[in-house]
Structure 1
Amino acid sequence: MEIEVRRRGRRSLGDKAITVACVVVTLLALAFLVPAVFGLQRYVIAGTSMTGTIDYGSVTYERVVPVGDLRVGDIITYQPPPDSGIDHPVTHRIVAIHGDVFRTRGDAVPNRDPWKFKLDSNQQARVVFAVPYMGYPLIWLSDRHTRMLVIGLPAAVIGLFAAAQLVGALRKKPQDEAKPADTAPRPQNPSVPLHG
């Protein structure tokens, strides 16, 4: 009986861990999907140039606004010009606007970005707010080795569990093989002689 109680306790702890993991994954999914319903774009901050304002691993939520609404001091996520040598979006603060030409700078960097740029569209994503730490899982998953570990480790555990169950099922002898075929006594019907 004690062994069963311990097994149940372990299953209960495993069930709790799975429940917590499911809740965390669900909350992260909602944090990324629900804002889209309200027209917000999401970006994961994978650099340190805005540290102090928007730290590494944060997720920014941004609303698309007309370019004419942008002001010095706004934080935007944009693609730097091709000759900048940067092939990914950058989230920086606008420090100067001259007509339709913009200059930006990261808050943690003393100098302006070395490029000037024009926005390709008449609308631009502007940061509304940021949530710290929420982007870490996505940053980690962007690494190939981490992805393999996150996918491979649970798959290996499931495979080992399935193999253990299979071995246990093969070792178990069916109870019915040990019993001889139908040895129970049969009731006898008495016969009564007929005299006529």
Structure 2
Amino acid sequence: MSRPLTAVRTVAGWLANLLLVAVVLGCAAYVAPGLFGYERYVITGGSMSGTFEKGSLAFEKRVPVAELEVGDVITYLPPADSGVSTLVTHRITSIEPGEDGTRVMQTQGDANPDPDPWEFSLTAPTQPVVAQTVPHLGHVFIALANPQVRVLVIGGPAALIALLALRDLIVALRSHTPPSRPHTPGTGGRIPGQAAGGVSPA
């Protein structure tokens, strides 16, 4: 086997191993937070710029609504009459007692000059509160939301590993193949030691 071909196969093997490790670590990063009670949210806007930027990944822990305090950063769905139909991650700026015993809150993005133009009460017993953010990691989750990207990221390394395994199998089979027996030319029907014409040497 030539040295260049061996080097190419070695590099391909290392690349496959690195891709496999990356996929395993990515899966662990995707699953592990949930095992510890954290929820993940991708920051898709810039209203909290300066605290965390667009494209960050926020890890949030659920706490009882009764324990929320001014200054907590929460991810919630604004009231229906707010005109906002997507989740918002903003800081609580005020908490006031409501008429029915609920807590009426108002939030504001750290990069916004004014509070959000709505007040709301949380009906669920618990609420996700931002515990930690990781810059730029949210872009990875946004990309993985695309099915074609998922196929490329997961299927690509898997296909490469399968090809390398097939290559190793072929090499192993070739190394264990018994050598072919040499071909012995025929004698033309003559008895060994007998000269042509049927006359034995004297």
TM over 0.5: yes
1:113 aligns with 2:116: yes
Match of 1:84 among 82, 95, 100: 82
Per-residue CA distance 1:90-135 (angstroms, 9 max, x = gap): 1111011112111111111111111111112121111111111222
Equivalents in 2 of 1:113, 1:58: separation in Å? 21
1:172 equivalent in structure 2: none
Equivalents in 2 of 1:151, 1:79: separation in Å? 31
Q: In structure 2, the residue corresponding to 1:61 is in which secondary structure?
A: strand
Q: 1:28 to 1:150 in 2, by over 3 A?
A: closer
Deviation at 1:84, TM superposition (A): 2.1
Equivalents in 1 of 2:61, 2:152: separation in Å? 37
Equivalents in 1 of 2:5, 2:105: separation in Å? 64
Q: In structure 2, the residue corresponding to 1:21 is in which secondary structure?
A: helix
Equivalents in 2 of 1:11, 1:110: separation in Å? 58
Match of 1:130 among 133, 136, 142: 133
Match of 1:140 among 140, 143, 146: 143
Q: 1:59 to 1:149 in 2, by over 3 A?
A: closer
Q: In structure 2, the residue corresponding to 1:64 is in which secondary structure?
A: strand
The amino acid across from 1:27 in the alignment is L
Deviation at 1:150, TM superposition (A): 5.7
Stretches of structure 1 that go unaligned for 5 or more consecutive residues are 163-181, 190-196
Alpha carbons 1:45, 1:55 under 8 Å: kept: yes
Equivalents in 2 of 1:108, 1:90: separation in Å? 13
Please identify, of 9-18 and 85-94, the stretch whose mean Cα deviation from structure 2 is larger.
Answer: 9-18
Aligned pairs (5 A) from 1:61-80: 61-80=59-78
Q: In structure 2, the residue corresponding to 1:15 is in which secondary structure?
A: helix
TM-score, length-scaled by structure 2:
0.69
Percent of matched pairs sharing the same residue: 38
Q: In structure 2, the residue corresponding to 1:135 is in which secondary structure?
A: helix
Equivalents in 1 of 2:19, 2:137: separation in Å? 15
TM-score, length-scaled by structure 1:
0.70
2:94 equivalent in structure 1: 96
Per-residue CA distance 1:4-57 (angstroms, 9 max, x = gap): 221222222222223222222222221221121211111111221112212222
Which one has a bigger Cα radius of gyration?
2
Alpha carbons 1:46, 1:139 under 8 Å: kept: no
The amino acid across from 2:20 in the alignment is C
Aligned pairs (5 A) from 1:20-99: 20-99=18-97
Alpha carbons 1:57, 1:134 under 8 Å: kept: yes
Q: 1:40 to 1:152 in 2, by over 3 A?
A: closer
